[in-house]
Amino acid sequence: MRKAITIFSILSCVLINGQEGSVAISDTVVAQKDSLLSYSESAEYSFTKNQDNKNDIWGHLKYDVVTMAGGFGNAFTRPLSWEKKDFLRLGVTAAAVGAIYLADEDISRTFIRNRENVPNVFRKFGWYFGSPQINYGITGAVYVTGLLVNNEKLRRTGVLMITAASATGVIQQISKTVTGRARPGAGLGKHFFKPFGQDANFRSFPSGHTVLSVTTSYALSKQFKNPWIKGGILAVGSIVPISRVLDGAHWFSDVTLSAIMSIAIVEGIDKFMKKNGKYEEDKKYNMEKHPVGKIAWNINAGPLGLGVVGRF
C-alpha cells in the first residue's frame, strides 16, 4: 500500500510538472506570436506612414507648381484688370522716376566719388546677393524645406518668392533688350539708348540684381509682423541697388523703378494667391474678408441696366 502511494505521488509530480512545462511552452509560443504580430503591425504602420508622406509631398508639389504657373501668368495679365487707383499709382511712379531721371548724372557722380569710402564687402555682398544663383538658391531652399517638413507657411512663402522672382526676371530681361540704355560706366550719358543692342554696356535698365534682391527680401518680409524684423530684411535687400549705383553699373532711376516694379509684382501675386489659393493662410484671409453668413452687396451698372449682386 505504501508503495502504491509512493508511485502515485511520483506520477502526480511528473504529470503536474509536465503540464506546467506545456503551459510554459504554450505561453512562450503565444508571447512570440504576439511579438511577431506587433512587429508586423509596426512595420505595416511605418510603411503606410511613409507612403502617406510621399503622397502628401507629391500632392503638395503638384498643387504648388500649378499655383506658381497661375501667379506667373497673373503678373503679366494683371494690368488688364487695373482700377483707377492703380493708374494713379502708375502716374505717381512715373513722375517720381522722371524727377530722379533728371538728376541721374549728378547722383551717379556723387555715388562713384564716394565709392572708396564704402567697405568692399558691402559691394561684394550686393553683387552676390542679387545674382540669380544665390537668389534661386535661397528661394529654392525655403520652398524645399517647407515641402519636406510639411510646413505650409514655408511652402507658400517659397511659392511666392519663386513665382515673383521668375516673373520679374523675365520682365527685366525683355526690358533690358528693348530699351538698351547705356550704363553710367559706358561714359555716354543718361540719355543714350541703343534698343536691342547686345553689348553689356547697353543693358542698364532695369537692374536685374535689384529686381531679384528686392523681390526676395520684400516677399520674405511680408511673412513677419514684427516691424524690426521686416525692416531688417528690407535693409539687407536694399544693399544691392545701392551697391549697383556705387559700381557705376546702373543709374539711380534704374534701380528705383526696378524696386517699385518688384514690390508691385510681389503684391499682385500675393493677392492672386489669397484670392485663389487653398493654403490655410489664404482660407483665413477669405473668411475674414467674406465671413460666412455675411453678404457683401455690390451695385453693378451697365449699358443695359442696373443690377445688385450679393456676395456670400
- pLDDT of 220 over the 50 cut: yes
pLDDT at 46 over 80: no
Residue range 1-20, pLDDT digits in tens: 444 444 434 434 433 344 44
279 φψ region: left (φ > 0), alpha (ψ -120 to 50), beta (else) = beta
Note the pLDDT of residue 279.
83
**Is residue 97 predicted with pLDDT exceeding 60?**
yes
Model confidence at 278, pLDDT cuts 50, 70, 90, reads confident
Q: Is 80 exceeded by the pLDDT of residue 91?
A: yes
Confidence of residue 156 (pLDDT cuts 50, 70, 90): very high
The Cα-based distances of 29 to 22, 23, 24, 39, 41 in angstroms read 11, 10, 9, 15, 18
Is the confidence at residue 243, as pLDDT, over 90?
yes
Question: Does residue 109 surpass a pLDDT of 50?
Answer: yes
Residue 156 or residue 198, greater confidence:
156
Indicate whether 228 pLDDT > 90. Answer: yes
Q: How many helices (H) and strands (E) does the chain have?
A: 10, 2
Q: What is the pTM of this model?
A: 0.74
Confidence check: pLDDT of 162 > 80: yes
At residue 288, the pLDDT reads 62
Q: At residue 21, does pLDDT exceed 80?
A: no
Single-letter code of the amino acid located at 297: W
